[in-house]
Structure 1
């Protein structure tokens, strides 16, 4: 299967299936000398771990990561870093009847159409557990970025009809509620809405927002390798994401040039800055030094207990009720996945940028 590798210089390859022996990732291109431990990575995996609230799947997994290679005496060696998380709580029997039909909203039909075969146990490679490899690799990328003074803050912007009131934004609140919302009141309203969805055997979608600060100007390229284009590809590669927008996004379509343009100005130290950030930190495909702000639209969980219509492999229209353990909403666990993919993309582009000027190479090699 092609398409499991992401990145050019900082490159990752995820592997494994939802109900196989395990899932993991190989990270290639990480510079040597980065302090790294399993605990550094586990912090991120714990944020996407199932079974932490009534709004996530009750599947109980430790999701404990093991470093198999690429780290010696607590530091990266510059060689491929191999990470594994073993699956311990599969219940494949819950999915046995799925082999005979196509679940609405899932990749069952398209997998069969492409490969003539599919792993029906929890979705195989299309399962949300594939994102474990992304998050494990993203933890490494985030540590590199933190060292460079680049920080990523990601949170739930809305769930169903309930949106965060940005005037009540609290960074600390993100960790205080099960929905990763920076607004306590909105989190309580969203929880009530989700209770209704659960009682109706239904699910909900939402929006994840990501803010990257400390980005130097000039990261990205002006044509095909634009920063925003690469971020869009990274985020849209996440299974549940159905939309991406940066800065004002689709609202820019109803704006005018005067209202949408960000006026340049000089900071107190004489450096170039902007008075506003409608562009979301990207101009001409390159970072402009402002915070990079984007949003990802997450679809409702397709596995719901309500009766749905579908077609089986015998070509018959049938009614089904999906069994198994499923999230009534994907958004809270997707927050760290979005953050990880953003970190991976930015790290790769930073490394690519080292060859943009001769003076950069001269600094590295002390010419």
Structure 2
């Protein structure tokens, strides 16, 4: 039993490996009649693609998207939308099959689960897969044009002063090491009422979506972990006439349903697992080895993770819009 489909009514399946011939996706459930072309999708992919500066992976992938189905005469048809991106700069020799497992990566766990894996760049576990999430998220945005989704890095290596980030990344790169990051993703324009009680809570789906992104180890919504330190009177969001709130500790979601306030999430990306600095490990035979990764990787995966967070937010919100419309009309 495999699990490669995301969403309730707006359903996304991605496919492909980091060093395979191509990656792709199929997005099912998009309403018909929405204007869509490759240029709209490409603008979001260009924000995520590698090879654009010293603080991201130097892999040269243009990430040129092709829309293969689900669009005719520039509009969605209501049928599945298939999109494809060819891999043009793979270097599989950087990942010998007998190399040590990379601690923190999925190398060993894939072997334990499947008994085999694609070692080239991490195969399916590579963050390369997220390009197709960004492509699908670009379509999802068109389903909910009244909603604005934006994400930004707010801390790198625990430092919130953006002026210090370049020097910190230079130092980590020179050390053969990497840094983690914190990304904040917000959605404005979401009306009150999206989401569902108990089993399909909007915040639960958002948390699951963000946690599905490679290298993400923590998600907060609204006040998040800090809510455990507050009194009820401090954490409450007082309400006023006309549906106004004095604060937004809830992060725009209460009881699993949107309140009409901005939806605020923070996503913690761990440091990139693929590093040149030696780390104690083992190989597939269980022999002690040092893991040293020679491939091309981001010194801070969170930098290119922000557009992926936006995409997952857009996909979840578009899905919940369709769920709400299906049950409540409008």
TM-score range, shorter chain: over 0.9
Alpha-carbon shift at residue 105 of structure 1 (Å): 1.0
Which residue is 2:227 aligned to?
252
**TM superposition outliers: structure 1 runs of 4+ over 3 Å:** none
Separation in 2, partners of 1:274, 1:94? 54
Alpha-carbon displacement from aligned partner over 1:16-43 (angstroms, at most 9, x marks no partner):
1111110010011101110000000000
Q: Map Cα deviations across residues 203-254 of structure 1 (whole Å, 9 max, x no partner).
A: 0001110111111111111101101001000000111100001111111000
Following superposition, the deviation at residue 100 of structure 1 comes to 4.1
**Does residue 57 of structure 2 align to residue 57 of structure 1?**
yes
What CA distance in whole angstroms lies between the structure 2 residues aligned with 1:356 and 1:313? 50
CA distance in 2, matches of 1:201, 1:19: 23
**Counterpart contact for 1:273–1:289, Cα < 8 Å:** no
- 1:300–1:330 contact (8 Å) kept in structure 2: yes
Q: Is 1:317 the counterpart of 2:288 in the alignment?
A: yes
8 Å CA contact 2:35, 2:74 repeated in 1: yes
Asked if 1:46 is matched to 2:21, the reply is: no
Gaps of 5+ in 1: 164-185
Q: Which position in structure 2 is the counterpart of 1:211?
A: 186
> 1:122 aligns to what SS in structure 2?
helix
What residue is the counterpart of 1:154 in the other structure?
Answer: 151
TM-score (norm 2): 0.98
Do the aligned partners of 2:207 and 2:219 also contact (CA within 8 Å) in 1?
yes
How many residue pairs match? The answer is 330
User: Equivalences for 1:90-129 in 2 at 5 Å?
Assistant: 90-96=90-96, 98-129=97-128
The equivalent of 2:236 in structure 1 is: 261
Tell me, what secondary structure is at the counterpart of 1:124?
A: helix
CA distance in 2, matches of 1:71, 1:320: 46
Match of 1:340 among 304, 307, 311: 311
For structure 2, the residue ranges without an aligned partner over 5 or more in a row are none
Shift of 1:283: 0.7
Partner of 2:135: 136
SS of 1:302 mapped into structure 2? coil
TM-score (norm 1): 0.88
Q: Once the two structures are superposed, what CA deviation does each residue of 1:134-182 show, in whole Å capped at 9, x if it has no partner?
A: 1100000112222xx111111111111211xxxxxxxxxxxxxxxxxxx
Q: Is this contact kept in 1: 2:177–2:275, CA < 8 A?
A: yes
Match of 1:198 in 2: 173
Which residue matches 1:187?
A: 162
Query: What is the aligned partner in structure 2 of residue 80 from structure 1?
Result: 80
Q: Compared with structure 1, are the counterparts of its residues 154 and 351 closer, same or farther at alpha carbon in structure 2 (3 Å cutoff)? A: same
CA offsets 1:304-323 (integer angstroms, 9 cap, x no match) = 11111111122211223211
When Rg is computed on C-alpha atoms for both structures, the one with the higher figure is 1
User: Is 1:20 the equivalent of 2:4?
Assistant: no
Matches within 5 A, 1:219-230: 219-230=194-205
Inter-partner Cα distance in structure 1 for 2:289 and 2:98: 14
Contact 2:92/2:120, CA 8 A, preserved across alignment: yes
Secondary structure, aligned partner of 2:260? coil
Contact in 2 for aligned 1:215/1:287 (Cα 8 Å): yes
Conservation of the 8 A alpha-carbon contact between 2:187 and 2:264: yes
SS in 2 for 1:219: coil
Determine which of 242, 262, 268 is the counterpart of 1:291: 262
Give the corresponding residue for 1:183: none
Query: Looking at both structures, which has the greater relative contact order when contacts are Cα pairs under 8 Å and sequence separation is at least 6?
Result: 2
Cα drift, residue 196 of structure 1? 1.3
Residues 155, 162 of structure 2: 8 Å contact kept = no
**RMSD between superposed Cα atoms in Å:** 1.1
- What do residues 321-354 of structure 1 show as CA deviations (whole Å, max 9, x unaligned)? 2111111110110000000001000100110011
